[in-house]
Amino acid sequence: MALRLDVLTLFPGIFSGFLAESIPRIAVEKKAVEVRLHNIRAWSADKHAKVDDRPFGGGPGMVMTCQPLVDAVEAALAMRSPPGRLVFLTPEGRRFDQQLAGELSREERLILVCGRYEGFDERVFELLKPERLSIGDFVLSGGEVAAMAVMDAVIRLLPGVLGSAESAASDSFANGVLDHPHYTQPPEFRGLAVPEVLRGGNHAWIDAWRREQALARTRRFRPDLPR
């Protein structure tokens, strides 16, 4: 069954190129994923379709108001059964990683909510009780890029999306280690040769070399990873 992905955003146009190219496009064409974009503004009850307002207590910036957001989320939840896993993209959230990407790829439904401005009115979290997800310790202008990062990592893990040549099984983090180094043509470039073992055709030796290289790279670049 296809993963149903609903994305709530104030800027649905940001997703057009992302969904029209490469792996996400293939996943949509293969019906591994069904993506629905919802413009939060469409749910605004304000006569000018306002979706933000000044913060109580003063200070810079605007805050996304409760009404359009809560109505939009409730409508999305009701569109399909099961209601799905509700995820708000926000810097204070749990850090997204490959393990969570795998977990989300096994869900039937995901609802991703993108913030803008100074973020969400805190009461939205009390009312909807979503998961909070961050893609790292930095601040983006909006949740759309974060949502696309999550979507991309999840979509490529859906069954049948990647060809065997691009299998995710040996990617970094899949087994608690980084990926091994890769080489392609030509055999020599500016005096740098491809390691002999990769050109020899002995697959047992190649596998052993790659495993050893993956461990060495993990020790060097990410000694914090569980091996």
95, with CB counted inside 10 A (0-12, 13-18, 19+), is exposed
What CA–CA distance (Å, rounded) separates 139 from 47?
31
d(CA 25, CA 105): 16
Half-sphere exposure of 195 (CA within 13 A, CB side): 12
Tally helices (H) and strands (E) across the chain: 8, 9
Interaction between residue 179 and ligand SAM (CB under 6 A): no
| 114 binds ligand SAM per the rule CB under 6 A | yes
Our CA angle for 133, 150, 66, nearest 5°, is 45
Q: Binding to ligand SAM by residue 56, rule CB under 6 A?
A: no
**Which region among 36-44, 83-91, 180-188, 203-211 touches ligand SAM (by CB under 6 A)?**
83-91
* Per-residue x/- track, 140-159, ligand SAM (CB under 6 A): xxxx--x-------------
CA atoms within 13 A on the CB side of 11: 14
Residues 6+ positions from 39 with CB-CB distance below 8 Å:
9, 10, 12
Active-site annotation holds for 223? no
CB closer to ligand SAM out of 118 and 179: 118
Is 53 marked active-site? no
To ligand SAM, the closest distance from the beta carbon of 89 in angstroms equals 4
Q: Is 152 a catalytic residue?
A: no
Binds ligand SAM by CB under 6 A, chosen from 5, 40, 89, 112: 89
Q: With contacts defined by CB under 6 A, name the span among 86-94, 103-111, 174-182, 208-216 that binds ligand SAM.
A: 86-94
Tell me the catalytic residues: 91, 118, 156, 171
Question: Can you give the binding site for ligand SAM, defined by CB under 6 A?
Answer: 89-91, 114-116, 118-120, 134-136, 138-143, 146
